Amino acid sequence: MNSIIVALVDQQAEHIHCHTTLTVGKIHGNLHNDIWDKQSKFDQFMSVHNVVVITAQVFLDLIDHAYLSVTRLAVVIFDECHHALGVKHPYRVIMDRIMRAPEDSRPRILGLTASLINDKTPPNRLEEKLSKLEYVLNCAIETASDLVAISKYGAKPKEIVVSSRSYDLNGSYGGEIVQLLEEWRKFCSSTQEFDPNFDIDPRKPIQEALNRTLAVLRQVGPWAAWKVSQMWEKELHKLTRQSFLQEKTVDFLIMGETCMSIVRRMLEPKMRPIKSLEGLTPYLPNKVSRLIEILSLFNSETLSGIVFVDQRYVAYILNVLLKHICRWETRFKFIQSDFVIGFSGGSFASDDSQGLHKRQADVIRRFRQSDLNLLVATSVLEEGVDIPHCNLVIKFDRPMDYRSYIQSKGRARKRDSKYFILVDEADMGCCSEDLRNFVEIEKAELLQVLLRRYRSVHNPSTEFENDLSIMANIDDYFPPYVVPSTGAQVSLTSAIGLVNRYCAKLPSDIFTRLVPQSRLIPIEYMGGTWYKAELLLPMNSPVKKPIVLESPLESKKLAQMAVALEACRILHKSGELNDHLLPVGRESIADLLSQLDEDPDEWAPGISAKVATALHEALPIKGKPCYIYVMELELLKEPSPESNPKRRRFANPLQYEYLFGFLSSRILPKIPPFAAYLRQGDMRVHLVRASTQVTLGSQNLTMIKHFHHYIFKDVLQLCKGNLEFHVDSSTPINTLIVPLHRISSATYGKWEYNINMKYVEQVVRMMHDTPRVPSDEERKNFRFRAEDYRDAVVMPWYRNLEQPVFYYVAEILENLTPSSPFPDEEYTSFNEYFTKKYNLKIYDQTQNLLDVDFTSNRLNLLLPRAGGGRRKATAPKPENSSLSRQRQIYVPELMDRHPISATLWNLISALPSFFYR
């Protein structure tokens, strides 16, 4: 959920700044700035801002670590204040800290919420619940003075409950797969092969793969499970390639990979041939079919909707399913969907988790701008986030409490909007009863309670008396441990979190379980079972002895919290926590913030990266002349047999009609030629400034920026999830990549260069539509032309649509056609192979086949491709080796051509090395 928390901080700060004259600061775990290195810099930050928007957990830790005193604050505003009813929620603990301050020094409290009820509360207990909220926040509940306003602005969509048949997995041959996954999950949980103190434990990623696949299979069906199993098979395979893993760890990961492979192979024969909604429907749970039926009632002009689901992975895969349906069925083309999920620090298949909150913000922005008209989301969108009024809200999983019901329904604010709840037949009874209670609370009880509590200057209320029967705060069991010199404190409720934070800072690799081991000791005491507790920190902590709670307590949880509090005291006395109760050596507030509610940015040990100052402030400006710098290549040596085992032929760079360069608004210092080792051979790179300058208009400059972004994000695939494309005067390297057309100059031996804007526009136009899946009619009209495929980059459109694979066309095989014998004896011809494996008929039987090579993902081209170290010790393979001669053969009709040629693609792969040098 943390990715949404950051968006909320930014959103609230932006609104306050827009509508007031106050200076607004922001604090959340994604900020990394040197102002947090010292207390004095933090104090300076606080002194220059009238308002600070901050996440709850960060605020609590600033108080507990004595960076901030509540007595300095005038007002504390809690957004979505109903969360304070949770015993362990930071709001509840913050209020405890505020109430400990002297009464005349406490800040004023304002709580805001659209839903006072946070759970399944019977109507007759409503007033008791509201009294408890008033007690916790030390406030009185108030409501709008005009009931007409409630009627006017309250969401009143038409509510429709849709019953769906319970899903029988055995009917879609899923029973065997469930049994396999359950057995594996049980085995992973029970195996004693790995000692957490000595072994690298691979069970966590395997259990996540099993749980995710099971959840998707049960809720979205076998087609979605097939997709998910492919992803996890690749993910686990990547983990097996880690060089530092023990043999038994690798073996266990391979077993997990094999399990995912078995699931994929069991599903593949029936799932792969599906290319239409009609073919998919027999394998869909009835609930998913009903969802699709609801969406079919809308069109592009009317749809603005959200589908709420309970689980993050279901949101992701449901979006994938909808995208495929839109691709298959023209009547669903109007749907432009994406997904928004919460984030709690775990991996999300191969996605880079650190950039998830930036992706979420981009998706929400596109939804606000109507670039998207449907979001599949978890409960993070039910409250807080500012999104447009919707005319369709679908609860894929029925609301289990009043908060979920009222918040999700509240998103359907447009006139004549609809609110659908999908319910399994077996749950209809429980759901109907819950909905009756929710409606009763909404229409009658809540309104009457609020009216009784309504206050204004014309209708003052009597003084509200707190309900003293509410259970005392849990922190009252033990006094907090306080550091006298700073005032930093740790209490029962925060002790476990601090111990876990300390353990997470200990040195480790990605598989190490940095968690303390606790043991509960039940004893008979005062006529009942009470508990002592023992805590053992990880073996790489200097505190080796078990930490023991001698005094028994009446519950397991209290005992665990109390022994954690004792551990904090011992860690501070041992020097492992400093006087701000932060891990020693990492006491800056920046580190504290980075690991509270967001993933910290990765830091790699070594020399800090530096960027050449020559490219600072060199970004081209519209309407002003800029310089073109050309990357000219000189061939020094043909590729060796070791680096070119298939004897591919490459053109000399001097024969290239097109090449790459970059733009700069300033003249760069001269750079001597340097060596680069490309697929085409050993090269010398010359950086040449073109003789003429170029002036770009706003439109051309925008197109070039899109081209530049596409090259680095999709071709080079360098932009991971935590990177955002951002080019302005503040970025370290201010330049843009451009394709150039080389023409002969009037001066002998000289060249002139022009930006190939036609090529830029062609690439930008198709960059979000690759690979393109042709219709049957287009394929029937396909005619092979050899010149279209020479020096081409192609990609198969019948598989890997989410992550297309690109190939160089190395050779056109004039002696092979689709009816030629297939290399594998299992199939008689290429026709039979594609018919049986992909359910595809090849129409053009005269087309020649293509011999292709993978596009290279090798980015460091400043070192030779072969030779050195262990490579020299390896015996060379004979020239006629079957491996070196092995071909990858594809059918042109089943491939989409990329507008970037193979020659230019090779040059693109060298760009990171050129810029590095």
The pLDDT, as a whole number, for residue 802 is: 65
User: Above 90 in pLDDT, residue 123?
Assistant: no
* Same domain flag for 219 and 257: yes
* Same domain flag for 115 and 173: no
| pLDDT band at residue 900 under the 50/70/90 scheme | confident
The CATH number covering residue 545 comes to 3.30.160.20
Report whether 770 contacts 795 (CB < 8 A): yes
The pLDDT, as a whole number, for residue 817 is: 92
d(CA 779, CA 689): 46
| pLDDT band at residue 439 under the 50/70/90 scheme | confident
The percent of residues in the chain predicted with pLDDT above 90, rounded, is: 14
User: Above 90 in pLDDT, residue 319?
Assistant: yes
H-helix segments, 781-901:
786-789, 830-838, 870-873, 882-885
Q: Coil, helix or strand for 11?
A: helix
The pLDDT, as a whole number, for residue 31 is: 57
Q: Which of 418, 435, 452 is the last residue of a domain?
A: 435
More confident residue, 187 or 477: 187
Per-residue HEC secondary structure of 502-523 comes to HHHCCCCCCCCCCCCEEEEEEE
* Same domain flag for 37 and 149: yes
Q: Which pLDDT tens digit goes with each residue over 615-647?
A: 667 788 888 899 999 888 888 888 777 667 677
Helix (H) or strand (E) holding 675, with range, is: strand 674-678
The pLDDT, as a whole number, for residue 320 is: 92
Distance from the Cα of residue 853 to its chain's centroid: 31
The pLDDT, as a whole number, for residue 458 is: 35
| pLDDT band at residue 882 under the 50/70/90 scheme | very low
| pLDDT band at residue 854 under the 50/70/90 scheme | confident
The pLDDT, as a whole number, for residue 423 is: 92
In a domain, 477, yes or no: no
The pLDDT, as a whole number, for residue 151 is: 44
User: Above 50 in pLDDT, residue 504?
Assistant: yes
* Same domain flag for 801 and 761: no
| pLDDT band at residue 78 under the 50/70/90 scheme | very high
User: Above 90 in pLDDT, residue 568?
Assistant: yes
User: Above 60 in pLDDT, residue 150?
Assistant: no
Per-residue HEC secondary structure of 562-595 comes to HHHHHHHHHHHHCCCECCCCCECCCCCHHHHHHC
In a domain, 474, yes or no: no
Q: How many beta carbons lie within 10 A of that of residue 129, not counting itself?
A: 19
The CATH number covering residue 842 comes to 2.170.260.10
* Same domain flag for 760 and 788: no
**DSSP labels, 134-188:** HHHHT------S-HHHHHHHS--PEEEEEEEPPP-GGGGT-HHHHHHHHHHHHHH
Report the b/e string of 439-449 with b at 16+ CB within 10 A.
eebbeebbeeb
d(CA 908, CA 894): 25
| pLDDT band at residue 881 under the 50/70/90 scheme | very low
* Same domain flag for 407 and 503: no
User: Above 60 in pLDDT, residue 223?
Assistant: yes
Average of per-residue pLDDT across 221-244: 87
User: Above 80 in pLDDT, residue 546?
Assistant: yes
Report whether 813 contacts 800 (CB < 8 A): no
In a domain, 469, yes or no: no
Q: Which of 88, 121, 155 is the last residue of a domain?
A: 155
From residue 333, how far is each of 338, 374, 390, 729 by CA, in Å? Answer: 14, 12, 19, 40
More confident residue, 567 or 909: 567
| pLDDT band at residue 199 under the 50/70/90 scheme | low
In a domain, 16, yes or no: yes
Residues of the domain holding 400: 285-435
Model pTM greater than 0.85? no
Report whether 688 contacts 750 (CB < 8 A): no
* Same domain flag for 267 and 320: no
Average of per-residue pLDDT across 14-33: 76
In a domain, 471, yes or no: no
* Same domain flag for 882 and 801: yes
In a domain, 104, yes or no: yes
The CATH number covering residue 31 comes to 3.40.50.300
Average of per-residue pLDDT across 160-188: 82
User: Above 60 in pLDDT, residue 538?
Assistant: yes
d(CA 729, CA 618): 8
The pLDDT, as a whole number, for residue 76 is: 93
| pLDDT band at residue 228 under the 50/70/90 scheme | very high
Average of per-residue pLDDT across 783-799: 88
Minimum mean pLDDT among 5-14, 132-141, 324-333, 486-495: which range? 5-14
User: Above 50 in pLDDT, residue 145?
Assistant: no
Average of per-residue pLDDT across 759-764: 86
Q: Which pLDDT tens digit goes with each residue over 246-257?
A: 777 888 888 889
Mean pLDDT, rounded, of the chain? 78
Q: Which of 724, 748, 766 is the last residue of a domain?
A: 766
Minimum mean pLDDT among 171-175, 223-227, 567-571, 795-799: which range? 171-175
Q: Which of 664, 666, 684 is nearest to 674 (CA)?
A: 684
* Same domain flag for 176 and 317: no
The pLDDT, as a whole number, for residue 137 is: 87
The pLDDT, as a whole number, for residue 392 is: 92
In a domain, 905, yes or no: no
The pLDDT, as a whole number, for residue 454 is: 46
Domain count across the chain: 6
CA-based R_g, the chain, Å = 32
The pLDDT, as a whole number, for residue 42 is: 80
The CATH number covering residue 263 comes to 1.20.1440
* Same domain flag for 788 and 868: yes
Q: Which pLDDT tens digit goes with each residue over 688-736?
A: 888 888 998 988 888 988 888 888 877 877 765 555 666 666 666 678 8
In a domain, 528, yes or no: yes
User: Above 80 in pLDDT, residue 864?
Assistant: no
* Same domain flag for 243 and 338: no
Per-residue HEC secondary structure of 871-889 comes to HHHCCCCCCCCHHHHCCEE
Q: Which of 61, 71, 84, 190 is nearest to 139 (CA)?
A: 84
Q: Which of 367, 373, 405, 339 is nearest to 155 (CA)?
A: 405
The pLDDT, as a whole number, for residue 716 is: 78
Q: Which pLDDT tens digit goes with each residue over 375-410?
A: 999 887 766 566 777 889 999 998 888 778 878 888
Report whether 29 contacts 2 (CB < 8 A): yes
d(CA 829, CA 171): 35
Minimum mean pLDDT among 85-94, 148-157, 414-423, 524-533: which range? 148-157
* Same domain flag for 181 and 300: no
User: Above 90 in pLDDT, residue 430?
Assistant: no
